[in-house]
Structure 1
Amino acid sequence: MTDRSPQGMRPAFRRWRARRPFWGGLLFALGGAEVLLTMKASMKVVMHVGMQGLAGYLLPIVMLLCGLLTLFSPAQRIFYSLIGVMASLGTWLTSNLGGFFVGLLLGIVGSCLTFGWLPDQKPRVSRRQRRRLREQEAARATAPALAEGTGEPV
């Protein structure tokens, strides 16, 4: 039986998140969703109608899919980020000025974070973890000197 407690799920989620460009993909998907939702705004709110054809709905869907594919298939992150930044810039013309600039900016920032993510980087270590590691190393360094029997460091 697997451990489904919050204590067991949180480290598993952190490990999953560390192996992919999580924040880039999330911002990217949120940008696509925001642009798609502003396409459904009332005509009083819409500033720029743009091409009301297929492109107005296609580009935000491409942004949303690229963000999700980045999260679940990080090996192709560069391709998804390049397609996504072009789709984000295309929403400027087709989808209410890129979802009133919010979706456009979320898409561009997310695709830049995705493009710049490197999979072979060491995971970041918090201050608390660094302090704990230093204390453990100091304890290991003093332990052999005390174990010689005199009780005093050499």
Structure 2
Amino acid sequence: MLENPTSSIIPALVVVLSLSILGYFAWKTLITSNLFQKGINLAQAKDYQGAEAAFRKVISINSTNDVVRLFLGDVLNQQGQVEEATELYQEVIRRSPKNPDAYLRLANLLMQQEREEEARTNLIQAKDLLQKQRQPEKAKKITQLLDKMSDKLSQS
């Protein structure tokens, strides 16, 4: 019995389509990774505007990357754009409430603004998350910081 020629074309098309999709995502990942590394390098070189542009481009390609948002918040903070940095950290907390880094960065920003009570709340949240995530050393450092804050408050 002869095989229908179209019956072998369909599986071939499926394979070609699948490989094309994989290729697209590999390319997108490579571009994103290179831009992210560029942003890190620019931030380390204190080229905060360049880093900001790189991180914003990464977010435009991959809108779900919270790590990039945290780094973008850091460079915005370095440029004195505290309000926008605060909004980014809060956005990461809303999107990923179990991310202790977002709470820590927000707490740091709040301490810079001398908003100790809000900073303390975020530090406690970060400490609790780190304990749940089995990172006792980091949690211990936050506990020590909270103790220093309490001591400072009681001396006032």
Band the TM-score falls in, shorter-chain normalisation? 0.3 to 0.5
Output the TM-score relative to the length of structure 2: 0.34
TM-score (norm 1): 0.34
Higher relative contact order (CA 8 A, sep 6+): 1
